[in-house]
């Protein structure tokens, strides 16, 4: 079973310079590889493979000798990342891979092998860089796979180590109506369960909007290229980091509880990208981060042998009475409560939707994944 462990790194000034060289060189190779793929396809209608690109990388050293200063395996890792980007583009219909900019506040490079982890001394050794102080707060046992070093906008460095613990993923556990739950996600309430429970939306970004506006106003008054402007940017980045950490902590705790309490979880598939086009709701939708929530549910379900049931996005879960099945087309968005004209049952709009999502999933109605 593969698991990732993330730790904060504290490099020296010299090591920071080596990190910057790795970030830059990996970016150059990624952009070069993307350019080669585009040109080859336009000229011959064929796709150039990652292995062909990797064989060509050494020929670049003549014109770009500084590429020799970094770990060659990290350079080859750039072509692997590009391959993965194209895979997502074709299979998951994500956007076409973009060229990477050195102005991107998030930088990273990978180290496939030949690195060492010392838990006793709280250090990690990377090729061409050496031993780096790292807070190894979580111990792991298993075979180390790829490690990824990253720098976030606040200026902090992290290393994420992928570990194979040698264990097999557990078989999926059986479930029935009593051991499954349906979830309808929202903005007013983060999640509404088919059992009637509602999880409040903590609104992490909204709670920091005033502070964020103050910092952005200060930034706008600073002279471009000045140290004070850089400091103002750092303050904004740190606030965004705090918000992201709060959101991440909330989602980890909630997903762990949901996985431990249920054998199966039914969800409705949402097209978040389309919803973000609604400018009135875009900030609120970004703040709740449903995609991140679902991703955490999915990999934790795999770890513990639980099932995630996803129904199609066009099921009328809100408008169908979960008692008699009557389809009420007269419900508007502002109506939070409604009474079924056929059987007289009273419904909370969101709880009713969650119950129907569970029903659709258990009946395998428009089910798109387990």
Of 184, 189, 249, 261, the active-site residue reads: 184
Q: Which residue has the tokens 């990652």?
A: 50
Pair 1, 168: CB distance under 8 Å: yes
Q: Is 349 helix (H, G, I), strand (E, B) or coil?
A: helix
What whole-number distance in Å separates Cα of residue 180 and Cα of residue 263? 6
Cβ-Cβ contacts under 8 Å for 94 (sequence gap 6 or more): 88
Pair 268, 317: CB distance under 8 Å: yes
Pair 118, 124: CB distance under 8 Å: yes
What whole-number distance in Å separates Cα of residue 283 and Cα of residue 318? 24
State how beta strands 180-185 and 189-193 pair: antiparallel
Does CATH place domain 177-203+254-369 in 3.30.420? yes
Is residue 268 among the annotated active site residues? yes
123 burial type by CB count under 10 A (0-12 exposed, 13-18 middle, 19+ buried): middle
Q: Domain limits of the chain?
A: 2-164, 177-203+254-369
Pair 4, 144: CB distance under 8 Å: no
Is residue 298 among the annotated active site residues? no
Angle between helix 227-261 and 209-221 (nearest 10): 160
Of 17, 165, 249, 350, the active-site residue reads: 350
**pLDDT tens over the chain, length 370 residues:** 999 999 999 999 999 999 999 999 999 999 999 999 999 999 988 889 999 999 999 999 999 999 999 999 999 999 999 999 999 888 877 789 999 999 898 999 999 999 999 999 999 999 999 999 999 999 999 999 999 999 999 999 999 999 999 999 999 999 999 999 999 998 889 999 999 999 999 988 888 888 999 999 999 999 988 999 989 999 999 999 999 999 999 999 999 999 999 999 999 887 655 555 555 566 776 778 888 999 999 999 999 999 999 988 777 888 899 999 899 888 887 888 999 998 999 999 999 999 999 999 998 755 554 4
Is residue 184 among the annotated active site residues? yes
- Cα 172 vs. chain centroid, distance in angstroms? 24
Of 268, 302, 315, 342, the active-site residue reads: 268
Cβ-Cβ contacts under 8 Å for 283 (sequence gap 6 or more): 205, 206
Let me know the angle formed at the C-alpha of 7 by 141 and 215, rounded to the nearest 5 degrees. 160
Q: Is 7 helix (H, G, I), strand (E, B) or coil?
A: strand
What whole-number distance in Å separates Cα of residue 191 and Cα of residue 293? 10
């Amino acid at each position: 079973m593969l698991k990732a462990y993330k730790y904060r790194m504290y490099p020296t000034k010299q090591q920071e310079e080596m990190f910057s060289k790795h970030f830059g060189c990996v970016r150059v190779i990624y952009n070069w590889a993307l350019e080669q793929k585009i040109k080859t396809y336009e000229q011959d209608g064929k796709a150039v493979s990652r292995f062909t690109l990797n064989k060509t990388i050494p020929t670049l050293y003549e014109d770009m000798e500084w590429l020799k200063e970094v770990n060659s395996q990290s350079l080859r890792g750039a072509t692997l990342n590009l391959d993965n980007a194209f895979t997502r583009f074709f299979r998951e219909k994500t956007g076409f891979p973009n060229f990477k900019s050195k102005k991107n506040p998030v930088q990273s490079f990978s180290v496939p092998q030949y690195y060492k982890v010392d838990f006793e001394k709280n250090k990690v050794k990377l090729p061409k860089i050496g031993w780096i102080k790292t807070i190894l707060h979580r111990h792991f046992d298993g075979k180390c796979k790829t490690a990824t070093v990253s720098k976030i906008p606040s200026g902090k460095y992290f290393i994420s180590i992928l570990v194979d613990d040698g264990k097999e993923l557990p078989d999926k556990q059986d479930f029935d109506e009593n051991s499954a739950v349906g979830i309808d996600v929202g903005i007013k309430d983060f999640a509404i369960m088919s059992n009637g429970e509602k999880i409040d939306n903590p609104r992490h970004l909204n709670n920091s909007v005033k502070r964020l506006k103050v910092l952005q106003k200060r930034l706008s008054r600073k002279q471009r290229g000045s140290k004070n402007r850089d400091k103002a940017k750092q303050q904004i980045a740190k606030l965004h980091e705090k918000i992201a950490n709060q959101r991440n902590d909330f989602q980890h705790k909630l997903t762990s509880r949901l996985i431990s309490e249920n054998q199966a979880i039914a969800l409705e598939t949402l097209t978040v990208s389309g919803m973000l086009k609604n400018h009135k709701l875009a900030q609120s939708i970004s703040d709740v981060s449903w995609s991140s929530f679902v991703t955490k549910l999915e990999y934790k379900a795999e770890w513990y042998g639980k099932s995630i049931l996803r129904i199609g996005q066009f099921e009328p879960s809100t408008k169908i009475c979960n008692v008699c099945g009557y389809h009420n087309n007269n419900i508007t968005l502002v109506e939070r409560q409604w009474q079924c004209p056929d059987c007289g049952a009273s419904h909370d709009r969101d709880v009713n939707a969650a119950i129907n999502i569970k029903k659709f999933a258990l009946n395998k109605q428009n089910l798109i994944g387990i």
